[in-house]
Amino acid sequence: MALSGCSEITALVIPDSVKTVGYMALSGCSALKSLTIPFVGSSLKINEEDTRYPFGYIFGSYRYEGGVEVKQWSSSGNKTYQVTYYVPATLKKVTVLGGNLNFSSFDDCNMIEELTVGEDVVGIDGNAIRELDGLKTVYWNATYCVFNESNYTFNPAIKYVNADLIIGGNVKQIPARAFYGWIGLRNVTIPDSVEGIGQHAFYDCGQSVNYNEYNNGLYLGNPNNPYMILVKTTSTDITSLIVHDKTTIILYDAYSNCNNLQYTEYGNALYLGSETNPYKVLVKAVNTDIESCSINEQTEIISYGAFWGCRNLTHINIPDRVRTISHYSFTDCTGLQEISVGASVKFIGDFSLAGNVALTRISFSGSKAQWLAIAKGELWNNGSGLYIIICSDGELQIGI
């Protein structure tokens, strides 16, 4: 398709049925204010050897009145090269429906104020969105998106951008490292639909984030539940922490360095409580030598690494109120043979059942459809043995 030179167009939607967009397709569209594109670059699907183009590619490298010079990078294999493109100065809103957000996708596009990442965006490279002086809001609607570690691993996907982040209402899971290193992140809205957050998703976001504070904890959420996610504590020196009653997610390192925290002990495990539930969060086993653990029936969250390396455990019963099994919760429990899981579980975190070579059976009190609907993190069962998942309406699958 080509709309080159259409200087009167102010809004344009290129639907996701379009699979390729040519170089300079929108050159000279100098009045464009709002643009929706099916992907960044030249095509939706690219092979490893194909060139990965940035946003400016579709506007081209020829000057036109109303075009602003931007310098962006293309990559082909292990090679990168910089190209000058001309993007309309009037362009304020951009929506990317799908594909991958490539390295350097939006470099120098300081005219953009609002960027929407669509539901079908499946990947984002390091340095995809950086140093956009005009950007005010990022709308994140991607329902399954991974940070491409192989592409510029040590660079955050979004950085040096002073903007707000609004997660869309259809997002169930925020991937690992999605927003790590986003220096300049300000207000964050996360809807109740989010059931799990990958490791390092909000790591190292600087001091500009506006958290909601409650009893030694700093939280993110939404207007209906500002205390949905416990991100971190106000200090690593605290001795007590009361988790908010409405908290459903605790980030993996929220209190990992709080060595003076006081816990409640029950059944070979240590707990943090809320105002109404002293056993809301199972933090960790009393030690890794335990042979059994009776998880309290009021427990709602099993914390990061709670039973990591408890190799003498053979059976564990996860009560019906538990909704979150966090990252590495049962990693390398090499003696664990059987797990009973309640139907309230909404998220099973990264590597949470990894390395359980003796595992033969997971008994799930819900249906097969409910098990499949559980959001599961990266490599959640990596390296575990062959096991059967038994649901209320029959056997679902054999794990790997």
**DSSP secondary structure, 48-86, as one string:** TTSEE--GGGGT-SS--TTEEEEEEEEEETTEEEEEEEE
pLDDT in tens for each of the 400 residues of the chain?
A: 567 778 899 999 999 999 999 999 999 999 999 999 999 999 887 666 678 899 999 999 999 999 999 999 988 777 888 999 999 999 999 999 999 998 889 999 999 999 999 999 998 888 888 888 999 999 999 988 877 755 444 567 787 788 999 999 999 999 888 888 888 899 999 999 999 998 888 888 878 899 999 999 999 999 999 999 999 999 999 999 999 999 999 998 899 899 999 999 999 999 999 999 999 999 999 999 999 999 999 999 999 999 999 999 999 999 999 999 999 999 999 999 999 999 999 999 999 999 999 999 999 999 999 999 999 988 899 988 788 999 999 988 765 4
- The model's pTM: 0.90
Residue type present at position 125 = D
Give the span between the Cα atoms of 66 and 73, in whole angstroms. 22
Which run of H or E residues covers position 34? strand 34-37
Q: Cβ distance 218 to 212 under 8 Å?
A: yes
Q: Cβ distance 224 to 255 under 8 Å?
A: no
Residue for token digits 């809103």? 93
